[in-house]
């Protein structure tokens, strides 16, 4: 099929390359010419394991193109809208500027009956408004239908999540639109991927409520962390025991510094804002608590680090391992790690940050912090080392090899990911979140 993908960020670049991998003829459209040039040259402008290979293979096969000109999308049979929906600058709601810009850019080029399938995470009701805007702006005869086909990919696993998803959700208003989407995903459906067909608002809600549930699960275990800290209990064992109950499940139950990134934090806030507009704000007030528990873990990590260096950061050197919001990503949007690093810097600490992949993005957002080229260089002369993003690289470091380089041997494991007995054996004082006795 001929497909277009509007917006080529994390979601759009992955979707475009993976749809070409399924054999479709795909054009990716983005107004950012630097991004488009990079993709044309076979370079993914962010770190995503496996994506460069898929991109290059499909560019070479001639199935994948990129352009800044929306006219190049004109003859696509399905247009996927994958633009960003960030948090508004000074409110909780989602900023839909890019969604409406995509509608305005695409509408004049639509000539035949067309299906536009939204994939971006949006406030419920956006698809209906999009339909109205397309109908007003597209030329007569275009007959634009809108469907909603939310995306559940995780950064760091984007290719596998797109090519082998847990489920495909199609919000449609017409059986013809469902048939067209089935054709797009025929290869995945043949593999047995569950296919759920529903209306537009349900499809929009599936995505935000999935992210709200995941955020709630993380904050639940982090709330238990606070109780563990008050009682001497160990949240790591608690989490393991809870996760063994199949009704609860072990995933997203890792206690620690909490969630960040470009999705969960802004999605729960946008969901609360939308609920307020719909008059059901009470239904989601618990998400405010989810957000607050999450942010409290960042402050608790700063407190633990301060205690570890004797009560104040002035004249103390703090090594920070990890800047990305999670491992296997170079994304530093709302990164808990950088939030903690910046808070310690503000209190007068000398902060030296290392990350295997996110150094450039971290430097751009926090130019005043110091950066080291290796985890070993970051700890040289440090009074404490903080593990803030649990990259494999850090878990594999033998603490014996860094102990001598540090001024004091203290580690704060804010992801509860290090081998506690190994670090103790190397002479370190170990502090974890929710593990007062550890
Ligand atoms: C999230 C969802 O998991 C995806 O399903 C969704 O498609 C995506 O948002 C999106 O809306 O686009 P992502 O932001 O890539 O994906 O990251 P996650 O793997 O969900 O991790 C989010 C944060 O939670 C990270 O900061 C991670 O460190 C933290 N986390 C995760 C925990 O603190 N504990 C856990 O047990 C799991």
Residue to substitute in 149, 252, 322 for testing ligand 1 pocket (most ligand atoms within 8 angstroms of CB): 252
pLDDT at 307 over 80: yes
The pLDDT tens digits for 193-214 are 999 999 999 999 999 999 999 9
- Write down the pLDDT at residue 140: 85
Helix then strand count (H, E) for the chain reads: 18, 14
* Distance (Å, whole) CA 182 – CA 176: 10
- Residue 420: band (very low, low, confident or very high) from pLDDT cuts 50, 70, 90: very high
* 5 C-beta neighbours (distance < 10 Å), count: 32
Q: Please answer whether residues 204 and 171 qualify as being in contact, where contact means their C-beta atoms are separated by less than 8 angstroms.
A: yes
Active site residue 228: no
Tell me, using a 6 A CB cutoff, whether residue 214 lines ligand 1: yes
- Gap from CA of 259 to ligand 1 centroid (Å): 7
Residue to substitute in 211, 270, 331, 434 for testing ligand 1 pocket (most ligand atoms within 8 angstroms of CB): 211
- Gap from CA of 158 to ligand 1 centroid (Å): 12
- Write down the pLDDT at residue 111: 86
The pLDDT tens digits for 131-146 are 999 999 999 888 999 9
The pLDDT tens digits for 63-108 are 999 999 999 999 999 999 999 999 999 999 999 999 999 999 999 9
Mean pLDDT score, 387-414: 97
Which ligand 1 atom minimizes the distance to the CA of 251? 36
- Write down the pLDDT at residue 118: 98
Mean pLDDT score, 267-277: 97
Nearest CA to ligand 1 atom 22: 259
**Angle at CA 312, nearest 5°, toward 308 and 317?**
70
Nearest CA to ligand 1 atom 13: 154
- Structural domains in the chain, sorted by start: 2-198 (3.40.50.720), 208-291 (1.10.1040.10), 297-432 (3.40.50.720)
Mean pLDDT score, 396-413: 97
**Angle at CA 31, nearest 5°, toward 30 and 33?**
90
pLDDT at 438 over 90: no
Query: What percentage of the chain has pLDDT greater than the value 70?
Result: 100
Nearest CA to ligand 1 atom 26: 259
Please tell me whether residue 132 adopts helix, strand or coil conformation.
helix
pLDDT at 292 over 90: yes
Tell me, using a 6 A CB cutoff, whether residue 195 lines ligand 1: no
- Write down the pLDDT at residue 112: 87
Mean pLDDT score, 265-278: 97
Tell me, using a 6 A CB cutoff, whether residue 337 lines ligand 1: no
Q: What is the pTM of this model?
A: 0.96
Sign of CA dihedral 137, 139, 145, 148: negative
* Distance (Å, whole) CA 377 – CA 227: 36
Q: Please answer whether residues 361 and 328 qualify as being in contact, where contact means their C-beta atoms are separated by less than 8 angstroms.
A: no
The pLDDT tens digits for 3-42 are 999 999 999 999 999 999 999 999 999 999 999 999 999 9
Mean pLDDT score, 330-336: 97
Tell me, using a 6 A CB cutoff, whether residue 325 lines ligand 1: yes
The pLDDT tens digits for 155-183 are 999 999 999 999 999 999 999 999 999 99
Instruction: Give the tokens for residue 250.
Output: 């072990």
Half-sphere exposure of 344 (CA within 13 A, CB side): 36
The mean predicted confidence, pLDDT, of the chain is 97
Give me the DSSP letters along 354-404.
E-SS-HHHHHHH-TTSEE-SSHHHHHTT-SEEEE-S--HHHHT--THHHHT
331 class by beta-carbon count within 10 Å (0-12 exposed, 13-18 middle, 19+ buried): buried
Cα torsion for 215, 328, 206, 116, to the nearest 10°? 150
For strand 195-198 and strand 317-321, is the pairing parallel, antiparallel, or unpaired?
unpaired
- Write down the pLDDT at residue 1: 97
- Residue 437: band (very low, low, confident or very high) from pLDDT cuts 50, 70, 90: confident
- Gap from CA of 115 to ligand 1 centroid (Å): 30
The pLDDT tens digits for 233-245 are 999 999 999 999 9
The pLDDT tens digits for 43-52 are 999 999 999 9
């Amino acid at each position: 099929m001929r497909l277009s993908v509007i917006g080529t960020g994390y979601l759009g670049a992955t979707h475009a390359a993976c749809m070409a991998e399924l054999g479709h003829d795909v054009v990716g459209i983005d107004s950012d010419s630097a991004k488009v040039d990079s993709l044309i040259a076979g370079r993914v402008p962010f770190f995503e394991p496996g994506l460069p290979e898929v991109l290059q293979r499909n560019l070479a096969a001639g199935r994948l193109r990129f352009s800044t000109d929306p006219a190049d999308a004109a003859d696509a049979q399905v247009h996927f809208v994958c633009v960003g929906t960030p948090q508004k600058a000074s409110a909780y709601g989602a900023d839909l500027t890019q969604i409406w810009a995509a509608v305005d850019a695409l509408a004049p080029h639509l000539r035949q009956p067309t299906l536009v399938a939204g994939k971006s995470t949006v406030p419920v009701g956006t698809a209906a408004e999009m339909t109205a805007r397309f109908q007003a702006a597209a030329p007569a005869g275009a007959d634009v239908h809108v469907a909603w086909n939310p995306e559940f990919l995780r950064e760091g696993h984007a290719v596998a999540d797109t090519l082998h998803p847990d489920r495909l959700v199609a919000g449609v208003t017409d059986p013809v639109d469902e048939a067209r989407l089935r054709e797009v995903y025929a290869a995945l459906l043949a593999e047995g991927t569950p296919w759920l067909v529903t209306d537009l608002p349900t499809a929009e809600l599936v995505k935000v409520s999935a992210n709200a549930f995941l955020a709630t699960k993380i904050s639940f275990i982090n709330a238990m962390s606070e109780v563990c800290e008050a009682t001497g209990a160990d949240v790591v064992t608690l989490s393991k025991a809870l996760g063994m109950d199949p009704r609860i499940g072990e995933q997203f139950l890792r206690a620690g510094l909490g969630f960040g990134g470009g999705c969960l934090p802004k999605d729960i806030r946008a969901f609360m804002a939308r609920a307020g507009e719909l008059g059901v704000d009470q239904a989601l007030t618990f998400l405010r608590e989810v957000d607050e528990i999450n942010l409290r873990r960042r402050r608790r990590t700063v407190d633990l680090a301060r205690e570890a260096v004797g009560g104040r950061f002035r004249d103390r050197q703090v090594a920070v391992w990890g800047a990305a919001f999670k491992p296997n990503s170079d994304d530093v949007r709302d990164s808990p790690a950088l939030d903690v690093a910046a808070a310690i810097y503000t209190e007068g600490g000398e902060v030296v940050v290392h990350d295997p992949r996110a150094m450039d993005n971290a430097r751009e957002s926090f130019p005043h912090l110091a950066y080291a080229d290796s985890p070993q260089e970051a700890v040289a002369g440090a009074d404490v080392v903080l593990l803030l993003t649990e990259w494999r690289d850090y878990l594999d470091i033998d603490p014996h090899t860094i102990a001598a380089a540090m001024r004091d041997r203290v580690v704060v494991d804010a992801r509860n990911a290090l081998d506690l007995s190994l670090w103790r054996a190397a002479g370190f004082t170990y502090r974890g979140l929710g593990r007062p006795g550890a």
